[in-house]
Amino acid sequence: MTPASTWIGHATTLVQASGLNVLTDPIFSRRASPLRFVGPARVRPAGLRIEELPHIDVVVISHNHYDHLDRDSILALSRQPGGSPLFLTALGLKAWLRELKITNAVELDWWQHHSHNGADFHCTPAQHWSGRGVHDRNQTLWCAWAVLGADFHWFFSGDTGYTQDFADTRRHLASRQSEELGGGFDIALIAVGACLPRWFMSTQHVDLNEAVQVHLDLGAKRSLGVHWGTFSLSDEPLDQPLHELDAARIAKGVSEDQFFIMPIGATRRIEPRSPRV
């Protein structure tokens, strides 16, 4: 099977590679909110409905904000035909899942990893924060994810401000990503939205210029911009990446094939890795 990434909307992406169907930060609900009648509403429908998904093997969760950790979506996935996926989270969220009676879960600290059916899921550092109420700020960890399978390496930024964490991730995984072994990440899923105003957002969400720099820091072969066009969470227009990503790429010498965006529901297929033997 040719590896493929399908952007479902916001930070939710289906990555099909290394014999696994993996979902990132699933939210299929109408609102990113603890309440169903108030809070940021979905501007565009999800690219796939939950019932249209293939059987999901693994769900990776970057942090517990409502637009990334949606209770109804998590419950629906845990009840999928054929059994619950494995839920991988940063430290502190396994207890939240247990309250939903979800036990097929593993939580990791930064730089720890978990192997599942031949793929290594690395919990990597990011700059963000956590909290679902007024009394739990930063009580659970946040992270990015690096997934290394035999035929495909990919990265998911979650939410993050710009730091040296991405260059550190590249160095940390260098022995697995030499040119002889197929090179760097085959694709990185990098958040490009919810970035204004900068005086408030700069420490928690990268802007477009920083997103392209994250791509370069990671040494990714290509990157897909996610986390935009779905929920209105900040001051910039929802379609800002459509108009401003080109300039950010050109300023750093990155081609459209190397850093791209695509419509909700679209799929990009990518040739598997070809290690030199």
At 106-131, the pLDDT tens digits run 999 999 999 999 999 999 999 998 99
Q: How many domains does the chain have?
A: 1
CATH number at 171 reads: 3.60.15.10
Q: What is the pTM (predicted TM-score) of this model? A: 0.96
Question: Would 250 be classed as within a structural domain?
Answer: yes
pLDDT at 276: 64
Question: Would 236 be classed as within a structural domain?
Answer: yes
DSSP 231: B
Provide φ and ψ at 53, rounded to 5°.
-70, 150
Question: Would 274 be classed as within a structural domain?
Answer: no
Token readout for 154 is: 């990919």
Residue 177: HSE in the Cβ half-sphere, 13 Å Cα cutoff: 23
Question: Would 276 be classed as within a structural domain?
Answer: no
Question: Would 144 be classed as within a structural domain?
Answer: yes
Token readout for 228 is: 């935009």
Given a contact cutoff of 8 angstroms between Cβ atoms, the answer to whether 126 and 142 are in contact is yes
CB contact set of 5 (below 8 Å; sequence gap of 6+)? 13, 14, 15, 16, 154, 187, 189, 224, 267, 268, 270
Question: Would 15 be classed as within a structural domain?
Answer: yes
Burial of 167 (0-12, 13-18, 19+ CB in 10 A): middle
pLDDT at 269: 97
For the chain, residues with pLDDT lower than 70 are 275-277
pLDDT at 163: 97
pLDDT at 199: 87
**H or E, element range at 156:** strand 153-156
Question: Would 275 be classed as within a structural domain?
Answer: no
Question: Would 12 be classed as within a structural domain?
Answer: yes
Provide φ and ψ at 161, rounded to 5°.
-85, 175
pLDDT at 210: 96
Q: Beta strands 119-124 and 153-156: pairing type?
A: unpaired
Write out the residue range of the structural domain in which residue 54 sits.
4-269
